[in-house]
Chains A and B, each alone.
Chain A
Amino acid sequence: MSVKKTTTIVEQLRRAQMSELLAMNKRLDGRGLKDYRELRIETGLIKKANGSALVSLGNTQVIAGIKVEVDEPFPDMPDKGLFICNAEVLPLASPYAEPGPPDEDAIELARVVDRGIRESEMIALDRLVLISGKKVYAVFADVSVLNTDGNLFDATSYAVVAALLTARVPRYDVQDEKLVKSEETIPLPINTIPVSITMAKIGNSIIVDPNAEEEACMDARITMATDEQGRVCAMQKGGSGTFSVDQLNEVASLAISLGSEVRERIRSSVASSTGGGANSIRSMTS
């Protein structure tokens, strides 16, 4: 991430207090080093979208919408559907966000979220093909950040994942090489639930889910996405600081253990909000 002038400046007093507390394994907001902020997930809020989710992680708030259309596949991948993720930080979300096209941080955000979902193969893209090489489902995930208080990566990732899990798309029948839209809707083919965990390094401490203040003080951050089998499938590091090999191992095992906790949270909120009608994992209705 580039060093922008317009980021939160933390008071030197707060900074000193933070490092003092970190030395005692505590944080300014009272959390432990490995504690998450309160995570709330609501789904199905946008009626016109195929799927949607509103996620709040502490004061960070993100809304994601899924729109599914029929499109042509990429020429080099004729037998795969499309998945495209875009993110935008609304000017209302933070005093530092400006209107206009997404800046490099927003682009990084979209790419990191996209990578977690793509590389974990959450969506079975090969099952989104309608007519090979000609017509496939294109899944668009559009994210708007409503409020920023650090860790947009995870909040956005959970929002997109929850929205994908609850999305229902129109079913198309192929008749004589032509597509006929049916009234019926079907869920997306889901393989796994990827969970992204972002950790920051301040001094020698590694903290999970940094808030805006901690992000302003961190030396480096790392985001890891894991799948249901506990495999690390995507990673992104930011900041000028470094992680030692031991620290990387610690970070990876944290991402796996916390990831499974969060995965259960996503699963249960998706199930409860849709009255048990959430897309069942690995079962695509035909």
Chain B
Amino acid sequence: MSKRYVLPGDLIVEGNPHLKPLANVIRIGDRLHATRIGIVEISQNSVKVIPLSGIYVPRVGDLVIGKVIDYSAMAWEVDINSCFLGHLPAQDVFGKEFSPGRDDLTKRFNIGDVIACRILNFDRTRDPLLTVADKDLGKISEGEVVKISPTKVPRLIGKRGSMIQMIEQLTRCRIVVGQNGVLVVTGVNKDAVHVAVKAIRMVEEGAHTVNLTERVKEMLQGVQVGR
């Protein structure tokens, strides 16, 4: 099936009541329209648009990597690479007994710290509520921060994590992927991290092309042979 590119507002299908509008598609009367720039994917009973560009819109449950940009007596403000600012309440870290007078927020997270967190609650009317109360969440103290377009994150992860696992195995790096397009790469040495970042950039640039996994694999194996 050939790829069909659409712009916001473009008509995708008309007069088929069995098709359900999924991501980035809306129904107006008996017509389905795209809401973002992207590629149409029509399956047996649903239609969706894979976006080609755009910002990150938080979804409950997403793992995101944020940057602490400010704090008040009660909470931290976290830049989650979105049009919304993440809100991490102090109770989440200090527990119910948190007292603004006794507990110093900067002891845990300071401005500029990179933290892995999860979206706890979000309804578009208020800033997304974050949490770090889970395993593998919290301050990230080492690694290289890489930013990619949030729309390319699914491609980087691949089908059931195939792409990211391949990059991790071949470069012996660990890559924490935030759904907001921020990644942290840690590896055995700087060269390994450098190669992993190169592979990530390759995926980002060629996210919509075919045989990408093969090409990335080739590149990574080529580098390893050369070493």
Contacts and interface: CB of A to CB of B under 8 A. Distances in A.
Interface of A: 5, 9-15, 17
Nearest to A10: B112
Contact of A12 (B113, B144, B184): B113
A13 B143 contact: yes
Contacts of B141: 13
B140 interface: yes
Given A12-B113, A12-B114, A17 B69 contact: no
Given A9-B67, A11-B114, A13-B184, 7 more contacts: A5-B70, A9-B79, A12-B113, A13-B141, A13-B144, A14-B145, A15-B112
A15 B112 CA distance: 9
Contacts of B136: none
**Which of A9, A13, A14 has its CB near the most chain B CB atoms (within 10 A)?**
A13
Contact of B69 (A9, A13, A14): A9
A182 B38 CA distance: 56
B142 A13 contact: yes
Contacts of B140: 13
B111 A9 contact: yes
A127 B145 CA distance: 55
Contacts of A11: 67, 112-114, 145
Interface residues of chain B: helix, strand, loop or mixed (majority): strand
A174 B209 CA distance: 68
Q: Which of A9, A12, A17 has the most CB of B within 10 A?
A: A12
A13 B140 CA distance: 8
A11 B112 CA distance: 4
A17 B142 CA distance: 10
B77 to A, nearest CB: 10
A276 to B, nearest CB: 39
B15 to A, nearest CB: 41
5 contacts: A9-B111, A9-B112, A10-B112, A11-B113, A12-B112
Q: Which of B67, B140, B142, B184: most chain A Cβ within 10 A?
A: B67
A209 B204 CA distance: 28
A170 B125 CA distance: 57
B111 A13 contact: no
A12 B115 CA distance: 11
Interface in B6-44: none
A165 to B, nearest CB: 38
B115 to A, nearest CB: 10
Question: In the complex, which of the residues B69, B79, B111, B112 has the most CB atoms of chain A within 10 Å of its own CB atom?
Answer: B112
A90 to B, nearest CB: 19
Contacts of B184: 13
Nearest to B182: A11
Nearest to A8: B69
A14 B113 CA distance: 10
Contacts of A12: 110, 112-114
A11 B184 CA distance: 12
A243 B157 CA distance: 47
Interface string B63-92: 000010110000000010000000000000
Contacts of B145: 11, 13-14
Contacts of A9: 67, 69, 79, 111-112
